[in-house]
Amino acid sequence: MPQVRVEVLGPLRAVVDGIEARLGGRRERAVLAVLAAARGRAVTPERLVDEVWGEEAPPSATASLQVAVSRLRAALRPAEIVLDPGGYRLGGAEVDAGALSSVARSLDGLAAGEALVRTEEVLALWRGAPYADLRDVPGLAAEAARLEEDRLLLEEARAGALLELGRPDEARAATAALVAEHPFAERLWSLLALALYRCGRQADALETLRRLRESLVDELGVDPSPAVRELEADLLAQAPHLSPAAALSPGTDATRSRATGVVGRVSVLAALEDALDELVDDGRGGVVALTGEAGIGKTMLADEVVRRGRARGARVVVGRCHEADVAPAYWPWLPILRELAGPDAPAEVAVLLGTQPGPDVEATGADAAALRTYDAVTRVLAARPGPLLVVLEDLHWADASSLRLLAYAAEALRQRPVAFVVTVRDVDPEVNPALTVALAGLARLGATRLRMPHLGEDAVVELLRDVFDDPDPALAAVLARRTDGNPFFVLEMARLLAADGTGEGLAERAERLEVPDGIADVVRLRLAGLPASTREALEVASVAGRRFPLDGLDAVLERSSLEDVDLAVGTGIVRPDELPGSFRFVHALTRETIERDLRPGRRARLHKLVGRAMERRLAAQPELVTEVAFHLARAAAYFPDVVLDAVHHGAEAARSAERRGAYEEAAETWRATLAVEALAPEPDVRRRHGLLLDLAAARQRLGDIRGAQEALDSAVALGRSVGDVELTARAATGFRSYNVWHWREIGEPDQATISVLEDCLREVSDPVLRARLLMHLSTESYIARRIDDADRAAGEALALARSLGDKALLQECLELRCITLFLPGRAAEREATARELLGLDIDQERELAALFHLGSGLHRQGRARESDEVMARAFEIAAELRHTGIDIPLAWWRWLRAAETRAPDADELGQRALAVHRRTTVVGLEELTGLTTLERQPSTGEVPADLVVAAQGHPNRSYRTYVAHALARSGDHDAALRLLGDPEPEDEYDYASHFAQCLRVEILALCGRTEGLAEALARIEPYADEHATYGSVLSAGSTAYFIGLGALALGDTERARAALEEAVRVNADSGSRRFEEHARRALSALG
Amino acid sequence: MNAITTTEATEPVTTTDIPWDRLRGTVAGRLHLPGDPDFAAVSTPWVVNVPQRPAAVLEVADTGDVVAAVRFAEEHGVAVTAQPRGHAARTTLDDTLLLRTRALDSIDVDIQRGTARVGAGVKWGELMARLDGTGLVALCGSNPDPSVVGLTLGGGVSWFTRKYGFTANSVVSFEVVGPCGDLVTVTRASDPDLFWALRGGGGDFGIVVSIELALMLAPSVHGGKLMWAVEHAATVLKAFRDLALTAPDELTVWGHVYHFPPLPDLPEPIRGRSFVGVAFTHLGSAAEAEALIKPLRDAAPVQLDLVGPVPPSAMGEVAQEPTEPMPSLEFGTLLTGVDDAAIDRIVAVVGDRERCPLIVTQLRGLGGGFARTSPAAGAVAAVQEPFQLFAVGVPAVPELEAPIRAAFGALAGAVDGLATGHAMPNFTPDGSPNSVCYPPETLERLRRIKLERDPRGTIRSNKPVLGE
């Protein structure tokens, strides 16, 4: 029997035996809809007319109704529309709304499994708003509203079932999609909140209920129902019954470890115990991060870890981060190193601790120096036998160097008995990207992240024992709810209550306690109860920092503050620090609140007073300089008399950071100092110019070439503005070499700097400065691919330097000259220049650079054996010096030699070089990634499309040619020729141009192109004796091989044979087995 | 369709080249290969007369074995299949790696939530035994021996289908090892397509290692069987037919003609004798049930009265179907109705013990939940036909096969004009095309999903959706 279904859950439609029936016009549809809505009951013709035609129905409406009914009968057969005594009735048809409603009515008592299956079955019938197309029929609007109610009921039941089945994610998705449609459906919103809570999104859960409350109050003027309020309270208290039954098992978190005052932290403590077990029993380290909101008890727990660690025989060291805007470099590490470093500590650690002067900052690159420092600290941490626990508190305030050191040490010490426990406040990732990066890095190392949970009521009872002898559970309930289970907040409120007596009615008073809707308010309330002198002392202390010395406080207040501090200790606001004579705020939040509430003028004055007081102790404690600078800088806007001192100390602080290798902090401190300097009552061009140059140098060390350029441009502008050519010239020659490679990508010249250098040269007469200007002009010209200009300027510079007999100047010029002689036909000259440099009295780092230039120069002349000897010496020095900026070119050189001699570890060396390179800001990463990728695949392998695309836009023409060569070998000649383009002009050559010209010959030969081949061949012939190398990273062996290939393609077999024989001989001689084999193969093909 | 199946067919593999030892090294369960002494025993299905020639049989020890087996199969281009019991054995499993999942026998019943999660090796009888006294039932089949997973994947016909729909549509989630050897939990939200296909589309989409079923409220079930002398067959079956067409969804009735063989393990009252019988279950009280079946009792004098309360653990005994492996041949078709003339013709074919080689001929009353359609349902197809005709013959000796098939032919003749040619997946004999059990659009969607998820055909069920 054919089935007839009338579907009203959406636009009306009827389906007869699987096929949609044609119902006719609006009247027919409206009539059917009204009959369907009657659910099998009869509807009088009068009512049908009223509904369908409205009150002003024409007299003909009854006749029209009969027509509509008869049309419907025809369309819906075998279903029928019967005319009973009571009116028209739809029979023999199933109406989808019926199933929806009947299931909605029968949900009570169903277990979750059946409820889910049932509700999903009928909810799937929902196609949209019921009777969506017929809402103008008055009777249907009411029926549609009823159906919407049923649907809501079903959706709620479905979400409830999903929650019960342990699928909160699906429940969340289902309810989140609906709440907007039902702003007042409290059960739906509650389900969403519960689902969020079970997905681990407590805050979102509470926010959901807050939004519900808002719309109820704003739009209906009513409060949420008791059920919602109860849920809200339960969410705040993390009531156990909110968790699904299965997740309840470890439910004893509310117990208190009484000896320590750590309450409600059983699971977190258990995880920490695990970490201690691993450290003490298994000798394995790791990182545990305690995270959570302010005041949640991270510090207290860290103290507990310290206690337990010591009890188990581990050495425990603690470092706390500094709250200043510009954190002093390595601040949290200093106390740790002071404790651990013995007299034989590495020099870098001694420098950090200020017990040894720093190295000559000029000579070392930033990456290198920082790595040396990390390395040294790591060695100190690893030096002691037995388990070591390093606790770093308040990591959210850490300086970038400290974070990076932590990541480095944690990775290096993974297999050693050194564990790290760090506390971190929840911080917006945008606000502190360095912290986000560091935490992500730690996570990759497998760090355990423990989020501090809010306290439940039971735990609050325990906590309250700190204040009351026998705390009332009712009070605990009130406090738990009102404080969101934040222990700091709980204790603050409890102390506030206790201050007014501990008699009866505490819970009621807690309930009425004046709206402390934020932690700050509670702090303020508590402070308000203290004497004015104590408040004053605390204000000064808040400016001084979380930890402050008593005598420092006395000095600022010009009176004894002992009594005030005692009172503050008594009320639990501050407590004695491990450092004798010092105190610290129990909670960072208290300090922040007090400081934030100071009026700006008063805050500035206190900063000045604190800064001046510290300044007086500088002679004895030079490490205070960063803080002095910080405090004075904060006072500078209001007190012009501190500006110059702030600048002075700022510069000193920056230099001290540089000595520690903390270049980020140094750069930041230089920048901050410049900002303070701008407030100086009387401008001083030289002072400002000096700061700009220092800033530029710090930035250049960080690889921030653009930032350095900006600072130098400002310095140039400053020099020009006062017509001081010397200042201008010094700014224009501000770049230094910290490497054996050039500092900017070739082909991206800085035209402005070149013009400034040329302008200066016209005016400057001082020969030393002239030599520098010329040498810089030479290097910038080389980067701009203007070889003739580069040569001319370099020649003049060197002549000048030699004539002056200024050794330092000559060294500087020779070193830069070596870099710019990376050109075809100039290898012998580079050799000579490097030898001249080696002949001077130079330090090891410069010797290393000179050896590198000498070695690569020899190799390029086909004298690979000699080159190997020189490089061997370079590797020795590099190992001795550890991290230097030259590590990276050396790593690439290892790859070059390994690849051309077909050493088995070539690929590994290439990947290692890439990894080392990646850690730094040295130029050329993109092309080197491409080179290593293509070198590791078979020579005829397909070239990855993204590489080709990237190469098309690459400024380095040689790199483009290299990729074109790979394309040609893979057989994609069209793409190869397209990418190859025209040959570059000979006077625009750079370090890789000759290599690229050789490849061009092979590409044309491979693609069967004779056009342009003779010309390409002529380009490389003059350098027949040279090795073709891509700078110092990739070698193609003797140029003769490519001459042979070119001659062969042009049909000159005799010449080809001679060249290839030569290539076999030279490559065999230099150990370039790879191209020796290539040449032999080409020869044998010749017959 | 052919074009697709031929292009996507897996390359022929010589199963002897497969390094089975490597699989053996990675699994905890026992691997059996042809030639091993017990290979015949482990490769024979419940329906013993269906010859299965798998390339290897693995008795899996745990889910990890299933993952390892599928990965191995995927790597070596051999198809893999699961067969806990083999009630629906097919020759389509030749050359496969056959997994015996009997060891996956966990049953977790959560009364609070009203769900049961069962492993692939669990038999219906075992699950139902756990539900006694809970007031909840799973939508079990009539026989306690087949596996929960096997029956459910084929859609599942239950005593409670009229009330609660197909068993497949009571699934809350599946745990499945997919064609690449990945273990995933499949829910409506996680993977709507796969969730749909697994609910009635058969075992072609992954090796299901466990299944979570919704349990339905059933505070009390009353039921059992009434038997009359076979002479009353036409009268009783007509009364049964009338009752089946008017029964509420809570009542399910099946009519039978039995010719019990003279086997010593059958109880004395039925051994070697013939009956017309009606089995029924009613979700509700004894009084309601008795009122409903009164017309049956009135139709003819009842010879055996096996009616009473049915706890879940006894649900498998209502129909008294065989649970021991045996040879059998089956016939099944759906009917648009059974008028008096048709009943007379059926009785003419099967009523006489001397001339009828079939041990049981059954008419199941369908309707209710069988006919309901829902966009939320799985691939199991709604059945509009109000009756299913089903018959079983036991070819104890090969010579019996011909007369059994002849009887099937005669039955088909008896319902000519009423039979639609459709059948439910769990009731199709070996060799039936898929189009018998699925409407074209369902089959199309199943095939599309199969091609998307498992183009290499690593998973093969007893009724491959890409086969014809």
Q: Which two tokens stand for residue A374?
A: 């990390």
Q: What are phi and psi of A793, to 5 degrees?
A: -65, -40
Q: Which residue of B has its CA nearest to A164?
A: B113
Name every chain B residue with its beta carbon within 8 A of the beta carbon of A111: 111-115, 136, 214-215, 217
Roughly what angle, to the nearest 10 degrees, separates helices A519-528 and A588-597?
A: 80
Over the stretch A281-308, which tens digit does the pLDDT of each residue have? 888 888 888 887 777 778 778 888 888 8
Q: Report the DSSP beta bridge partners of residue B331.
A: B391
Mean per-residue pLDDT over chain A, rounded: 84
Q: Report the DSSP beta bridge partners of residue B224.
A: B280, B307
CB atoms A165 and B113 under 8 Å:
yes
Q: Report which of residues B129 and A703 the model is more confident about.
A: B129
Q: Report which of residues B32 and A264 the model is more confident about.
A: B32
CB atoms B112 and A170 under 8 Å:
no
Give residues with Cβ within 8 angstroms of A689, minimum separation 6: A715, A718, A719, A727, A730, A731
Q: Which residue of B has its CA nearest to A160?
A: B113
Kindly state whether A116 is in contact with chain B, defined as any CB-CB distance less than 8 angstroms: yes
The one-letter amino acid code at B419 reads A
User: Is 60 exceeded by the pLDDT of residue B10?
Assistant: no
Name every chain B residue with its beta carbon within 8 A of the beta carbon of A168: none
Give residues with Cβ within 8 angstroms of B282, minimum separation 6: B221, B222, B223, B250, B251, B252, B288, B289, B292
Three-state secondary-structure class, residue B345 = helix
In this complex, the residue of A109, A121, A164 whose CB is nearest that of residue B374 is: A121
User: Is 70 exceeded by the pLDDT of residue A265?
Assistant: no
User: Is 60 exceeded by the pLDDT of residue A98?
Assistant: yes
CB atoms A110 and B114 under 8 Å:
yes
Total Cβ atoms within 10 A of residue B261: 10
Over the stretch A663-694, which tens digit does the pLDDT of each residue have? 778 888 999 999 999 888 888 999 999 999 99
Bond prior to A346 in cis (omega within 30° of 0):
no
Give me the mean pLDDT over the B413-419 stretch: 91
Most confident stretch, A365-369, A843-847, A949-953, B242-246: B242-246
Q: Which two tokens stand for residue A132?
A: 């969506």
Name every chain B residue with its beta carbon within 8 A of the beta carbon of A173: 189
Region of poorest pLDDT, from A140-154, A597-611, A733-747: A733-747
Give me the mean pLDDT over the A814-821 stretch: 91
Region of poorest pLDDT, from A194-208, A430-444, B108-122, B270-284: A430-444
Give me the mean pLDDT over the A946-973 stretch: 89
Q: Which residue of B has its CA nearest to A168?
A: B189
Kindly state whether A158 is in contact with chain B, defined as any CB-CB distance less than 8 angstroms: no
Q: Nearest Cα to A748, choosing from A951, A931, A956?
A: A956
Q: What is the DSSP letter of B62?
A: S
CB atoms B172 and A117 under 8 Å:
yes
First to last CA, chain A: 89
Mutation target to probe the B interface, by most B beta carbons within 10 A, among A165, A169, A175, A241 is A165
- Residue A923: predicted pLDDT: 72
The number of helix segments (H) and strand segments (E) in chain A equals 51, 18
Q: Which residue of A has its CA nearest to B171?
A: A117
Kindly state whether A125 is in contact with chain B, defined as any CB-CB distance less than 8 angstroms: yes
Kindly state whether B114 is in contact with chain A, defined as any CB-CB distance less than 8 angstroms: yes
CB atoms B111 and A111 under 8 Å:
yes
- Residue B382: predicted pLDDT: 86
Burial class of residue A856 in the structure, from the number of CB atoms within 10 Å of its CB (0-12 exposed, 13-18 middle, 19+ buried): buried
- Residue B381: predicted pLDDT: 82
- Residue B4: predicted pLDDT: 35
Three-state secondary-structure class, residue B393 = strand
CB atoms A114 and B112 under 8 Å:
no
Q: Report which of residues B329 and B325 the model is more confident about.
A: B329
Over the stretch A897-950, which tens digit does the pLDDT of each residue have? 999 998 888 888 998 888 877 766 667 788 888 899 888 888 778 888 888 888
Give me the mean pLDDT over the B183-190 stretch: 90
Mean per-residue pLDDT over chain B, rounded: 87
CB atoms A170 and B187 under 8 Å:
yes
Q: Nearest Cα to A314, choosing from A326, A325, A305, A323?
A: A305
Three-state secondary-structure class, residue A857 = helix
Question: From its phi and psi, is residue A152 left (phi > 0), alpha (psi between -120 and 50) or beta?
Answer: alpha
Kindly state whether B188 is in contact with chain A, defined as any CB-CB distance less than 8 angstroms: yes
Region of poorest pLDDT, from A258-272, A507-521, A837-851, B102-116: A258-272
Q: Nearest Cα to B190, choosing from B171, B164, B216, B168?
A: B171
Q: Nearest Cα to A107, choosing from A94, A125, A120?
A: A120
CB-based contact B186:B199 (threshold 8 Å): no
In this complex, the residue of B188, B189, B215 whose CB is nearest that of residue A114 is: B215
- Residue B7: predicted pLDDT: 35
- Residue B16: predicted pLDDT: 63
Region of poorest pLDDT, from A265-269, A967-971, B321-325, B331-335: A265-269
Q: Report which of residues A237 and A909 the model is more confident about.
A: A909
Mutation target to probe the B interface, by most B beta carbons within 10 A, among A100, A114, A122 is A114
Question: Model confidence at A882, in pLDDT bands (50, 70, 90)?
Answer: low
Kindly state whether A122 is in contact with chain B, defined as any CB-CB distance less than 8 angstroms: yes
Most confident stretch, A31-40, A993-1002, B93-102: A993-1002
User: Is 90 exceeded by the pLDDT of residue B407?
Assistant: yes
Q: Nearest Cα to A549, choosing from A569, A565, A533?
A: A565
Kindly state whether B213 is in contact with chain A, defined as any CB-CB distance less than 8 angstroms: yes
Kindly state whether B169 is in contact with chain A, defined as any CB-CB distance less than 8 angstroms: yes
Mutation target to probe the B interface, by most B beta carbons within 10 A, among A116, A119, A158 is A116
Total Cβ atoms within 10 A of residue A103: 21
Total Cβ atoms within 10 A of residue B45: 20
Kindly state whether B136 is in contact with chain A, defined as any CB-CB distance less than 8 angstroms: yes
User: Is 50 exceeded by the pLDDT of residue A245?
Assistant: no
CB-based contact A83:A109 (threshold 8 Å): no
The C-alpha angle B401, B402, B403, rounded to 5 degrees, equals 95
Please, what's the largest Cα pairwise distance for chain B? 67
Name every chain A residue with its beta carbon within 8 A of the beta carbon of B375: 124-125
- DSSP conformation letters of B45-100: -SBTTS----SEEEE--SHHHHHHHHHHHHHHT--EEE-SS-TT--GGGTTSEEEE
Helical H segments across A821-901, by residue range: 827-839, 844-860, 864-881, 887-900
In this complex, the residue of A3, A114, A245 whose CB is nearest that of residue B112 is: A245
Q: Which two tokens stand for residue A805?
A: 């007999």
Give me the mean pLDDT over the B174-180 stretch: 93
Q: Give the Cα separation of B199 and A513 in Å (integer).
A: 59
Q: Give the Cα separation of B271 and B265 in Å (integer).
A: 8
Three-state secondary-structure class, residue B116 = strand
Region of poorest pLDDT, from A185-189, A663-667, A1063-1067, B150-154: A663-667
Q: What is the DSSP letter of A361?
A: G
CB-based contact B20:B33 (threshold 8 Å): yes
Does an H or E element contain B342, and which?
helix B340-350
Give me the mean pLDDT over the A861-883 stretch: 87
CB atoms B189 and A123 under 8 Å:
no
Q: Chain B: give the shortest CA distance to residue A121, in Å.
A: 5
Question: From its phi and psi, is residue A680 left (phi > 0), alpha (psi between -120 and 50) or beta?
Answer: beta
Does an H or E element contain A174, and which?
helix A168-179
- Residue A325: predicted pLDDT: 55
Roughly what angle, to the nearest 10 degrees, separates helices A643-659 and A625-636?
A: 150
Name every chain B residue with its beta carbon within 8 A of the beta carbon of A164: 112-113
Q: What percent of chain A has pLDDT over 70?
A: 92
Q: What are phi and psi of A835, to 5 degrees?
A: -65, -40
- Residue A1034: predicted pLDDT: 93
CB atoms A111 and B213 under 8 Å:
no
CB atoms A125 and B214 under 8 Å:
no
Residues 429-488 in A contacting B (C-alpha not used; CB under 8 Å): none
Kindly state whether B83 is in contact with chain A, defined as any CB-CB distance less than 8 angstroms: no
- Residue B9: predicted pLDDT: 38
User: Is 90 exceeded by the pLDDT of residue A649?
Assistant: yes
User: Is 80 exceeded by the pLDDT of residue A488?
Assistant: no
Kindly state whether A114 is in contact with chain B, defined as any CB-CB distance less than 8 angstroms: yes
Question: Model confidence at A997, in pLDDT bands (50, 70, 90)?
Answer: very high
- Residue A291: predicted pLDDT: 82
Kindly state whether B192 is in contact with chain A, defined as any CB-CB distance less than 8 angstroms: no
Give me the mean pLDDT over the A491-517 stretch: 71
In this complex, the residue of A120, A167, A245 whose CB is nearest that of residue B376 is: A120
Q: What are phi and psi of A142, to 5 degrees?
A: -65, -45
CB atoms B115 and A120 under 8 Å:
no
User: Is 80 exceeded by the pLDDT of residue A502?
Assistant: no
CB atoms A111 and B189 under 8 Å:
no
Over the stretch A387-397, which tens digit does the pLDDT of each residue have? 899 999 888 88
pTM: 0.49
Q: Give the Cα separation of A895 and A913 in Å (integer).
A: 7
Kindly state whether A120 is in contact with chain B, defined as any CB-CB distance less than 8 angstroms: yes
Region of poorest pLDDT, from A495-504, A707-716, A786-795, B52-61: A495-504
Residues 358-397 in B contacting A (C-alpha not used; CB under 8 Å): 371, 374-377, 384
- Residue A611: predicted pLDDT: 92
Three-state secondary-structure class, residue A451 = strand
Q: Give the Cα separation of B191 and A945 in Å (integer).
A: 33
- Residue A942: predicted pLDDT: 85
Q: Which two tokens stand for residue B357?
A: 């080689």
Q: Which two tokens stand for residue A444?
A: 């990759």
Give me the mean pLDDT over the A464-469 stretch: 77
Q: Which residue of B has its CA nearest to A111?
A: B114
